[in-house]
């Protein structure tokens, strides 16, 4: 089931993100970007839409975007990857985005870059190191590519 994240989900969200921090963070400053304080700030920001994929009261995936369409968090529990959870979260959010949104953006970890490419994203930068993080800026143009990503992606 996909639903809005709440403060009660904080511990599970932190647990789910933890294995991915090393893919992004290159310093303590970067690690702090995934702290409980930052996650709470996202949950409390009206322009951020934060969702969890839950099964048997366990959070197995999360996706969050900041208006109008910038993905800020998108993680699936390492134990349940390649089972379609990421695809369900992605489809849920893209269906929610307003029709007039033509570009979706994300700052992807180098690890996740091929996954976003399966969703139709293209890199719009080289690898960037800033604010303690290493990432690639990516965008998906919805007008040029309204087809779904291949089955089995993420």
**Does 25 fall in a domain?**
yes
Number of H helices, E strands in the chain: 6, 7
**Strand extents, DSSP E, 98-132:** 103-108, 122-130
Number of domains in the chain: 1
**Does 154 fall in a domain?**
no
Neighbours of 132 (CB within 10 A): 15
pLDDT (tens place) for every residue of the chain, 154 residues total: 999 999 999 999 999 999 999 989 999 999 999 999 999 999 999 999 999 999 999 999 999 999 999 999 999 999 999 999 999 999 999 999 978 899 999 999 999 999 999 999 999 999 999 999 999 999 999 874 444 444 444 4
**Does 22 fall in a domain?**
yes
Is residue 127 within 8 Å of 110, Cβ to Cβ? yes
pTM: 0.89
Report the CATH number that the domain containing residue 116 is assigned in CATH. 3.40.630.30
């Amino acid at each position: 089931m996909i639903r809005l994240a709440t403060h009660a989900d904080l511990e599970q969200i932190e647990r789910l993100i933890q294995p991915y921090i090393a893919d992004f963070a290159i310093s303590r400053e970067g690690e702090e970007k995934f702290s409980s304080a930052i996650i709470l700030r996202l949950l409390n920001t009206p322009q951020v839409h934060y969702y969890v994929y839950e099964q048997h009261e366990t959070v197995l995936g999360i996706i969050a975007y900041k208006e109008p369409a910038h993905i800020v968090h998108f993680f699936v529990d390492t134990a349940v990857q390649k089972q379609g959870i990421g695809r369900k979260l992605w489809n849920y959010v893209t269906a929610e985005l307003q029709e007039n949104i033509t570009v979706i953006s994300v700052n992807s970890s180098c690890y996740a870059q091929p996954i976003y490419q399966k969703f139709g994203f293209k890199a719009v930068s080289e690898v960037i190191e800033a604010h303690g993080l290493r990432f690639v800026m990516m965008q998906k143009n919805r007008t040029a590519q309204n087809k779904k990503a291949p089955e089995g992606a993420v």
